Amino acid sequence: MSTLEKLVLQFSEDKDKIHEDFRLYLTSMPADYFPVSVLQNSVKLTTEPPRGMKANLKKTYSNIDQAFLDKCSKPEIWRKLLFSLSFFHATIQERRKFGPLGWNIRYEFNESDIGTTFTMLQLFLDSQDEVPWDALIFVTGHINYGGRVTDDNDRICLIKSLQKYCNVDALKDGYKFSNSGIYYAPSDGPL
């Protein structure tokens, strides 16, 4: 970090020696040891996770187009499970706002988790005659998302939540994700 700090300070001292198109992009998680002088001489961008179920679903669906929705050999099942898994993703992200009541340990679930889950879902659906529910729950719950989860109780909670969104009933119109009936998957159709 000290070498980085010296290098960046040298950039500001040698402005006439640096090409006008030169840009240095750095990415970092928040860290106390990151040099303050680098931050002070930088333009900072932050990406905040969406807040709320609706915002989470919009974020996930902003990366989906109609071609993506039609690219599986079982399009109706694919679209239903895409929504169910997107809703699961939003749910587990929202649990973070409840602190230790949501998760015992704070986990950073992100877009790569849902992206990998979509890839595996398509692979399973294209390669199998029937939906391999057990394999889908194992790969999604224990590997894609569960790989981040270190607390046994959190893992149980994650798997039980996933089973609510990833089951044969979720393929039926009118299946409710909550007892209140407020949350449900839309009927099959275009984006």
Q: What is the DSSP string of 25-80?
A: -------TTS-HHHHHTS-----PPP-SHHHHHHHHHTT--HHHHT-SSSHHHHHH
Q: How far apart are CA 129 and CA 137, in angstroms?
A: 17
pLDDT value of position 44: 67
CB 89 within 8 A of CB 113: yes
Say what the pTM is. 0.72
Give the whole-number percent of the chain exceeding pLDDT 70.
96
SS3 (DSSP) at 122:
helix
* Tokens 């994650």 found at: 158
* Tokens 């909670």 found at: 157
Q: Give per-residue pLDDT as tens, 53-112.
A: 888 888 888 888 888 888 888 989 999 999 999 999 999 988 888 888 888 888 888 888
Question: Across residues 140-161, what is the average pLDDT?
Answer: 91
SS3 (DSSP) at 128:
coil
Q: Which CATH architecture has domain 53-171?
A: Orthogonal Bundle (1.10)
pLDDT value of position 45: 66
* Tokens 């169910």 found at: 84
Q: What is the dihedral of CA 10, 14, 15, 19, to 10 degrees?
A: -100
Q: Where are the domains of the chain?
A: 2-40, 53-171
pLDDT value of position 99: 81
Q: Of 31-35, 44-48, 121-125, 154-158, where does mean pLDDT reach its minimum?
A: 44-48
Q: Give per-residue pLDDT as tens, 40-50.
A: 777 766 666 66
Q: How far apart are CA 22 and CA 25, in angstroms?
A: 10
Question: Across residues 22-30, what is the average pLDDT?
Answer: 77
